[in-house]
Amino acid sequence: MAQIALKIDVDTLRGTREGVPALARLLERANARATFLFSLGPDHTGWALRRALRPGFLKKVSRTSVLEHYGLKTLLYGVLLPGPDIGRRAAAEMRAVRDAGFECGIHTWDHVRWQDNVRQRERDWTLAQMQKSYARFMEIFGSAPATHGAAGWQMNEFAFAQIDAWQMAYASDGRGHSPYRPTLGGQPLAHVQLPTTLPTFDEKLGVNGASAAEVVRQLLALTEPEQAGQDTAQVFTLHAELEGQKLAPAFAELLSGWRAQGHSLVALADYYATLKLDRLSLHPVSWGEVPGRSGELIVQP
């Protein structure tokens, strides 16, 4: 039985308050485990509108109906409305999903600030952002986070090194095809990267007119045992703002389909526990493009 590790990125206040509880209920009904990764500081989603000049961004926005999924109020945060502090206003929802038995970790402090800046920023800026998220996580949960999954799959060398400094055994900060140890300057880091291996829902939705139902069929085709290999594990990233709200019925169908294929639906911790660590490959930190997403991301060579 192959595993599919479910990694849930939580980007916004609305996603934390509404999408997270809805996903927890949906996952419990499906007897599925997952890892929730939280944005812990201010919600500045409106700042993302500055990406309008980035190649492919407007095309993606038009395909995925951003206004419909995120809501007008969220899209005004940081522009016409002050950015609310997610960790202050939604701590109860975060603790509730932990108390329900789900793994919880860090996504970021300020999602848009990190995604749009970290690649070019220096060590002090990077560590300040990361330490804010770590301190807030400790404040909310009373324990250290087990893992990290970068906002927008954006990192830099200082951020990768900080994962080791936090003594995290594993993280999921990029895209790729299999678990590996990242290297910096030719030297391997201690932690293991569990990259997202499957396309995300928003990367497929609307491409060539694909409906939500068609995206479910496309994803299930990629995870057919004969297609992926009987024992090939996958990592799927979903978003509280999408699969936890408007796309919840489609995600429920996807979970049902994966169960029918015989897959075990697990958290990142469960996936990591199955690895033979001495057999993992080494790969340098690299950047590249992913179909359906604008800009470059951390990718496994």
pLDDT per position as a tens digit, 99-130: 999 999 999 999 999 999 999 999 999 999 99
User: Which tokens go with 43?
Assistant: 């919600």
Residue 33 main-chain phi, psi, to 5 deg: -95, 165
Q: How many CA atoms lie within 13 A of 277 on its CB side?
A: 10
Instruction: Please tell me the pTM assigned to this model.
Output: 0.91
pLDDT per position as a tens digit, 158-197: 999 999 999 999 999 999 999 999 999 999 999 999 999 9
CB-based contact 42:270 (threshold 8 Å):
no
Q: What is the pLDDT of residue 58?
A: 41
Q: What is the pLDDT of residue 297?
A: 97
Residue 224 is part of a domain; what is its CATH number? 3.20.20.370
Q: What is the pLDDT of residue 195?
A: 98
Count up the domains in the chain and report the number. Answer: 1
Domain that holds residue 146: 3-299
Q: Which residues of the chain are under the pLDDT cut of 70? A: 1, 47-81, 227-231
Q: What is the pLDDT of residue 67?
A: 47
Q: What is the pLDDT of residue 290?
A: 96
Give the chain's largest Cα–Cα span: 52
Q: What is the pLDDT of residue 294?
A: 87
Q: CA distances (Å), 95 to each of 71, 105, 148, 268, in order? A: 24, 12, 17, 18
CB-based contact 144:138 (threshold 8 Å):
yes
